Amino acid sequence: MKEHRYILEPYKGMNTRYRCPSCQQRDKTFSLYIDTETGEHIHATVGRCNRESNCGYHYTPKQYFQDNNISFDAPQPKAYKPRPVTPQPKSVSFIPVEVFKASLNPKAFETNHFVQFLINLFGVELASQLVSCYFIATSKHWNGATVFWQIDTQGKVRTGKIIQYEIINSDVSVIGKDCKRVKTNKPPVYWVHTALKTTDFKQCFFGEHRLNERHKDGKLKPVAIVESEKTAIIASVYLPQFIWLAAGSKDGLNAEKCSILKGRTVTLFPDLNGFEKWSNKAKELSHLAIFTVSDLLERKATEAERKQGFDLADYLIKYDYKAFALPEPEATEPPPAVQPLVEVKAFEQTEPVYYFSKPEQPKPESWEQDITELENYFTGITLPTQPLKLNQCSTITNCSLFIESHFATVKANNGKRTFLPYLNRLKELKQVLTTNLN
């Protein structure tokens, strides 16, 4: 019996949609082997999953016959029905700690395009915190490439996704500066396991190591999931009340990955071209967690943005993050130790970990003069009684109450940088009122 007698069945429509025994997907993702002489399938487990990067299941006829003690050269009757055999799951390998640590070399961040984009967008201090929080790393595979490590809740490094970005607009004075993935690389995404010549790995969510982060009151933070790693990192700055994870792709949501979310409250933020698919996924996975799907982009997107397939990050970076999000109280309980042998201890340090040249520390300042000038201004004018739009994403419904609460906050926290947005909003309100009065 010759091996080429068995081939993967070509896709012929709905009748050839089979469920993968490993990842359980069935939307054109699993192909069965057939006997070309009889036209019969060998077995429901003998086939290959087409989701090579996300699953990698491949059970060949030769392996099946060996598992069942059947000679591969023996003739196979048309009516032959061998006893079902479930292939043993492959052992999962993890990234060696020394490889992981080497990718976090601080000197390499000067050439990392994505990290430089974060510095342009958020400044050195905040960018450094993001690098530490998500273990953003650098690869030599492509010039300036980034490694997004997938670390599970046990601190094991499952794998790393290597992507090269190019900065579209590096002008730090322009809101909306962005970087885009280089899609001309073949393939556009490379895996650390591939570079190490191993394929037996299972993915987890990017950012999964953060799942035990809590609010100041001790409650676990709710979870938010987006498609790309870049979007998760950016969104964590604008909306820090969530733990931000990335599925890795539109097809990255599955029961195996989401099992870690059992009992949690999860909000999905799909890209514009993935709303319907993720809405269906939310229903399919509802037995695991409380899923809701955000329609923010569906409501806000223009026709041009729909054609481009906008994601949440594309929307958020239109705005200054300082005006967009209120300060988030720090978590009181750090997540479990991530890779005990790793020297980066981002979650245990009160001071940020600086991977770049540390900026000069600002000298303590007093806001007394600003507070006095603002108080004199607001007491000397008639405040509007109608709702007032402060900026593109904020509307004040009660100016008097807004001013009173903000003055109370800045006076109680005079000079503390965390509360600077409150002072800035008072200044912004003064500017809006001055413009309207003139």
Q: How many domains does the chain have?
A: 4
Are 343 and 412 contained in the same domain?
no
If asked whether residues 219 and 323 sit together in one domain, one would say yes
Q: Round to whole Å and give the CA distance between 112 and 164.
A: 9
Do 189 and 203 lie in one domain? The reply is yes
**Strands of 6-8's sheet in order across:** 6-8, 30-35, 47-49
- Domain presence at residue 79: no
* Whether residue 25 is found in the same domain as residue 123: no
Within 10 A of 110 (CB to CB), how many other CB atoms are there? 14
**Residue 377 Cα to chain centre, angstroms:** 44
Residue 67 in this model has a pLDDT that exceeds 50: yes
Query: Is the same domain home to 232 and 196?
Result: no
- Clarify whether residues 178 and 242 are in a common domain: no
Q: What's the pLDDT tens digit per position in 111-129? A: 899 999 999 888 888 999 9
Q: How confident is the model at residue 88 (pLDDT cuts 50, 70, 90)?
A: low
**Which pLDDT band holds residue 89 (cuts at 50, 70, 90)?**
low
pLDDT of residue 436: 78
pLDDT of residue 398: 79
pLDDT tens-digit series, residues 389-425: 876 556 777 788 888 878 888 888 888 776 777 788 8
pLDDT tier at 248, thresholds 50, 70, 90: very high
The size of the chain, in residues, is 438
Q: What is the pLDDT of residue 366?
A: 84
| Residues 6 or more apart whose Cβ sits within 8 Å of residue 364 | 415
Model-level pTM?
0.58
| Same domain (yes/no): 195, 256 | no
**Based on the domain organization, do 170 and 59 belong to the same domain?**
no
Same domain, 192 and 267: no
Tell me what percent of the chain is helix, strand and coil, each rounded to the nearest 5.
Answer: 35, 15, 50
Highest mean pLDDT among 36-40, 106-110, 143-147, 383-387: 143-147
Domain range holding 153? 90-207+335-360
322 and 311 assigned to the same domain: yes
In a domain, 399, yes or no: yes
- Domain for residue 383, yes or no? yes
pLDDT band at 131, cuts 50/70/90? Answer: very high
Q: Are residues 218 and 295 in the same domain?
A: yes
CA nearest to 356, candidates 104, 169, 143:
104
pLDDT of residue 52: 61
Q: Does 78 fall in a domain?
A: no
Specify if 73 maps to a domain.
no
Of 333, 351, 376, the one marking the end of a domain is: 333
pLDDT of residue 35: 77
Q: Is residue 140 part of a domain?
A: yes
Q: Which two tokens stand for residue 107?
A: 């000197």
Q: Tokens for 68?
A: 């069942």
